Amino acid sequence: MLRRAAITRQALPDGDFEALRTALLDSPLVGRSTLAGAFQSSRGFAVIFRDEGRQEVTRHFPALSPWLARALGAPAIDALRRWWLPVGGRVPNAWYLNVLLVSRGGGVGRHVDATLRQVSGDTNAVPEVVSVLYLSVPSTVGGQLALYEGGALRQRITPRENQAVHFRGDLSHEVQPFDGTDGVRASLVIEQYHLADQHLANVPDFKLESRAGFGAYLDHHAACQP
């Protein structure tokens, strides 16, 4: 089976990983997913940002800093260089960060990530690369990430905690349903886009997206105060 993803078995030092997992999974912003379609049975929250808003991201979520340094832009592109599309490999300049929680019996149907199409106005936008960090993986049967190209299955990846996966943003993919009783399958997904200037101008520097309610925003912002 042809590989279409680069995998890092231990993405972060243990201390950095535990701090990040706790900060994201215990966040009051976790609620019903902001995404529709294949994501309707999932939970989480999201952040849209550009280079100008990266400092604001780490102000809200300081524990993200070590992972962003390893995952954003050139590091992810370099990890995929062997399988890169001839016209691809451009360094990203806009990001959609999604904390994704899937419960027992759930999954995410096959799709191609294109979350920033509407906000950017680029109706053809797909990520240059998608980066996934697994935060929590219960003892289950199933739950693999399956990558497809032209309708053909190219790679199936079994998630492990603190494992990172970078894959080409033009690939369709799915999270296969799983059975288990001990917790949720949680991941941090970052869609990494390269947008032309006229489309990049439509993307906010920093924007939080959550359906946890207004009180969750207040709790989160209170926790961000020095």
Delineate the domains of the chain, giving CATH numbers in brackets: 5-224 (2.60.120.620)
pLDDT at 91 (0 to 100): 86
Instruction: Calculate ∠ Cα 77-12-111, nearest 5°.
Output: 50
Instruction: Check whether 181 has a pLDDT greater than 90.
Output: no
DSSP sequence for 161-201 = TT-EEEEETTSEEEE--EE-SS--EEEEEEEEE---HHHHT
CA dist list (Å): 72 to 42, 92, 93, 115, 211: 24, 8, 9, 17, 26
Cβ–Cβ under 8 Å, residues 189 and 31: no
Which of 54, 157, 163, 172 is closest to 111 using CA atoms? 172
Read off the pTM: 0.89
How confident is the model over 13-64, as pLDDT tens digits?
Answer: 999 999 999 999 999 999 887 765 555 567 899 999 999 999 999 999 999 9
With beta carbons less than 8 A apart as the criterion, state whether 99 and 188 touch: yes
Give the torsion sign (CA, 116, 212, 162, 37): negative
Give rounded-to-5 percent helix, strand, coil for the chain. 30, 30, 40
Q: What is the pLDDT of residue 194?
A: 94
By mean pLDDT, which of 29-38, 135-144, 191-200 is the weakest? Answer: 29-38
pLDDT of residue 3: 59
pLDDT of residue 55: 95
